[in-house]
Amino acid sequence: MTVVGTPPPALPVRDKGAGRALSPMLTRLAEERATGVLVREHGVLHLAEGRVVHAESPLAPGLDVLLTAHGTLAATAWQQAAARTTGPLLAAELLLRSGVLPTGALELCHLDALYDAGYFALAPSSTPGRFRYDSTPRLGPLPSVPVVALERETLRRRLLLHRLWPDPAADTAPLIRADPAAGRAPANPAGPTTPATQAASATPVTPRQRAVLDRVDGVRTATDIARNLGRQAFHTLVDVRRLTAAGQIAPLPTAPSAPPPPPPLGQVTTDPDIALLKRLRDALEAL
Amino acid sequence: MPGIDECLLEAMRLPGARGAALVDWTSGLALGAVGEAPGGDHETTAAEAAELARMAAEHGTFAAGGDDLPPVEDVIISNGDSYHLLRFVDTSFDSSVFLHLWLGREEGNLALARIRLGEMAARLVLG
């Protein structure tokens, strides 16, 4: 009798009807075909004529890491290109012109890095973004991406992670190995702790997940692991959420802090609008 | 050396080619797409093809024996009127992409397309 693990949910398809924009400012900048740099809390987007030509985030490994981690490009070759240019995008263009890398490989890595950093740059933030009009970014030989395409892909990626495991805590916290046999809640939070849980725990770890699992040490976060592996951060998050759902890893519990002061009685829940919004939120989260 | 678009356009020159795309199987994102897509939507096609590719890539049953070999080369689907050929791209950097070629069954030559797509996948990342 073969134990069949819970199959991961299907990759989501973008809902074209949903005209949600992640950043109204970005939508406006795309409409006016702006050129400049958008600085947000978790990353930076470089726009040329309203298209994203480059993205950077401290949470995603850059093109340099992706290219040098596995020896595709010698670290010294990147450093030389970077020293002769102003910024990673121009360094990549220099590498393209010099022909040290196949065009397809460089385009592919560039797009990988752009969508990866863009995902974090467009993450919900607690501070408003700032746009600086700047004529430096331009449409170059490497592919650029329409703002709308990056926004829609980012939303789709959020949905994909949410379907794998709805709690985002493991995305940012240091990760620890968990004992799958200890019986964590199964991927379906409504499910009971029954043989189904054990079956989920017995889901084989794929080779790519094994590489992530081997680097979980109680200190590294998903971003650290991505950088260590020279792998896209979003790809790492997919495996982190799946390993979390399988009970293989868990976010390091944060030290208990002083309990928050109790909310003023009768202020929050009696507001019919707030109560309705909360019920809506709970219902949406339960989907 | 071909870029992504040149590679896809070259695939479209194969007899019977209806559509071609370069897809990331972890995210389901089409990094490039040309020609038609079944149902008219490259995004949906990419997400669904990525699902299939991921299953093939992740299940040990289908993997090649050697550690230095990529786990899977191709996934081939045939139906009454077309073929779908998914060719994994073996990159020296960490990635999870494949070429997806949709071929009409009448005009398409699956054996030829499989060989050519393998060559294109290699040229894309090796030059």
Contact at CB, B44 and A204, closer than 8 angstroms: no
Select from B24, B26, B124 the Cβ nearest to the Cβ of A104: B124
Contact at CB, A103 and B127, closer than 8 angstroms: yes
Residue B12 has pLDDT above 90, yes or no: yes
Nearest alpha-carbon partner for A176 in A230, A255, A257, A240: A240
| Helical ranges in A103-232 per DSSP H | 103-121, 147-164, 169-172, 195-201, 207-213, 222-229
CA A80 to each of CA A83, A88, A92, A95, B70: distance values in angstroms, whole numbers, following the listed order: 5, 12, 11, 10, 32
Chain B interface residues facing chain A, Cβ-Cβ under 8 Å?
Answer: 1-4, 6-7, 22, 24, 26-29, 31, 43-44, 47-48, 50-51, 58, 60, 71, 89, 91-97, 123-127
Please say whether the beta carbons of B49 and B37 come within 8 A.
no
Q: Please count the other Cβ atoms lying within 10 Å of the Cβ belonging to residue A1.
A: 3
Give the residue from chain A lying closest to B126, CA to CA: A102
CA distance A269 to A265: 9
Give the residue from chain B lying closest to A114, CA to CA: B31
Please say whether the beta carbons of A208 and B59 come within 8 A.
no
Give the residue from chain A lying closest to B96, CA to CA: A235
Taking only the tens of pLDDT, chain A with its 287 residues reads 555 566 677 787 765 544 566 788 888 999 999 999 999 999 999 999 999 999 999 999 999 999 999 999 999 999 999 999 999 999 999 999 999 999 999 999 999 999 999 999 999 988 888 999 988 899 999 999 999 999 999 999 999 999 999 999 999 999 999 976 655 444 444 444 444 444 455 678 998 999 999 999 999 999 999 999 999 999 999 999 999 999 999 999 887 666 666 655 544 455 556 666 766 776 776 66
H or E element at residue B52: helix B42-58
Please say whether the beta carbons of B120 and B97 come within 8 A.
no
DSSP A12: P
pLDDT at position A193: 45
Q: Please count the other Cβ atoms lying within 10 Å of the Cβ belonging to residue A4.
A: 10
Please say whether the beta carbons of A152 and A20 come within 8 A.
no
H or E element at residue A240: helix A233-245
Which one is predicted more confidently, B67 or B84?
B84
CA distance B59 to B61: 5
The alpha carbon of residue A145 and the mean position of all alpha carbons in its chain are separated, in whole angstroms, by 17
pLDDT at position A280: 72
- Which domains are delineated in chain B? 4-126 (3.30.450.30)
Instruction: Report which residue type is found at B80.
Output: G
CB burial string A199-212: b at 16+ within 10 A, e below:
ebbebebbebbebb
Q: Compute and round to an integer the Cα radius of gyration of chain A.
A: 22
CA distance A284 to A276: 12
pTM of the model: 0.84
pLDDT at position A272: 59
Which one is predicted more confidently, A199 or B66?
B66
Nearest alpha-carbon partner for A206 in A242, A182, A181: A242
Quick one: tokens of A284?
């949406």
Q: Which residues of B touch A109 (CB under 8 A)?
A: 93, 95
CB burial string B43-52: b at 16+ within 10 A, e below:
bbbbbbbbbb
Q: Which residues contact A140 (CB under 8 A, 6 or more apart)?
A: A53, A89, A90, A93
Torsion of CA A47, A49, A52, A57, to 10 degrees: 0
pLDDT at position A187: 45
CA distance B41 to B49: 12
Give the residue from chain A lying closest to B98, CA to CA: A108
